[in-house]
Structure 1
């Protein structure tokens, strides 16, 4: 399965690209399909920021439309403020709860735009907290927009003219006092396709139940995420976007980010979820994860079991997402030992991963080489591999959720 996102450049008065508007698409057709706006926005955000944008957070400003409810819930605060400009859709009512949300997000450093703005006294109180006003010049005449610009000089506002479709419109908008410009005359939206991996149906169903419990069992949620490649990858990228520290465990990250924020992120991810497309790499990633954690748990080693687990889980991200593993790993908060294990198969973690791969390939000589190097009993690692094969199958879903390793039963 693939995701499709369109991005349309926004230029300044010198025609330099200064930002992009992200637009939801379901295929190569450059048009918005009929889909619930909340779901469309959720998919666009999750897929761009936490799944398909494998180069990490390039220093580019993105404008994204947000429906009313997502604004009131302050969903935009899940994303880096220096990369995101929040667009308030034109059909959002200027209510008190929206005003409070806008003021709060502004105070947190977020840039906010009024999209397809039609001047109204009810929006005046919002203007001190707004960064940019976008006028659709097909709906509001350039001359009328210019009047508004001149009448609101007391505010530190930028103005963007969209739907520019001719050189004359561009010139008129420049003379009228607009700062930025967008339209097919300048650039058409560019469709970007990215490989998408999905969570298992079991994980999605169980998370939907868990997130609505009262009180919420965050230990259960942690296990559900930990045993799902897609949710683990997205959450790791979310952690990396908001915390500067190296990953230790989901429990530590939950507390550092705040449980309310984690709940909001999970809810958004579930809204964006698709059905899982079966992949052999998905299941073997889970097998590697469990094999590696079993080995790392031995007293022989002084290793962080979580690091070993995620080295196994993320070792085939390049095959799942069809991008170089080195690019994908840059977006995750892993320590140097884990990174070296994944990219160079170095160190103790690298040897454990090498042993897992040798078992997959039924390469007896490599199995012997790695067990000797790690000073392990091959009969024990044989059992670990059998455990991993069983543990990764759907039949063991509930066993995994109890937080137990198969070999400990």
Structure 2
């Protein structure tokens, strides 16, 4: 095989931020499965290609790499650990547990490599490895709802994070969150992407450049209008949005110049930024809904946190930028002319805007005691959340 080919499938946290990627063997660019029966060879191929032939920093974006491992490769990795502090070895479900396997996992953990149990079933010998695991992956499709609930209950006392894999619907995602799963993977979020070389796709480069120009404080209304007019799809979606029920204009707005006058520079900047980001069409709809909902909720709660509504909305809007772009937040924001306050909030949760976005995450996670300690009005946040959710769903439907 002349090309180095691997695939990656993102793993999300409860906030739809990319936590890591499962890195998979691929025989050809068109392959959707490994097409290789030798698991040892597949793992070796992935490791060699990932760390010697690929631009690993761009491929992973600083996230964890989850890599399948057989019993043989577990022992090989334990003898020569690689990629400490950035790799997770997944113990495959057909690995027979014995003293050599357990010892290999202990060595790997001591070296800084994290351990996941793949396709975990409670009534198997892998149960004895639960205390050694950093992650336990449960196949949602392999279990009934009652069995899934039992696995979540039995695994709750362990320190490992629960990862729901093969999540295919919004209902399954919601159910897994309800049961305490913290990480999620499956076709509902994204299918594996195959790479022969990792570069930011051209469409996302163009989108990021557009977003950067939109956020530039030197840009004027005339230039913003010109930027939108150059893009037929963007123009169409902006006009649809401004003529929807969520923008109660008295008269129909049928050209971009009139839209710019109606929205003003800040309004145009905000909405065109959102429309540009929402064009990343391989990302799950739920991620885009969360983005809109969080931005609107932030705007509604701006006053209690002593921040400007426009800044609050922007921080909420950009809070999922790393998930949308598959790149680290710090790296993305370096390319955007944002204020230091906005950057500090998004990267380090600092300042008043940082407190606001932290409170939003805590609300989404149901961390009521933390919100109470911070002096937040949970009832007011609940009302803002429901209103923001309804608003976001309406906007998404309108587009």
TM-score by length of 2: 0.46
Structure whose alpha-carbon radius of gyration is higher: 1
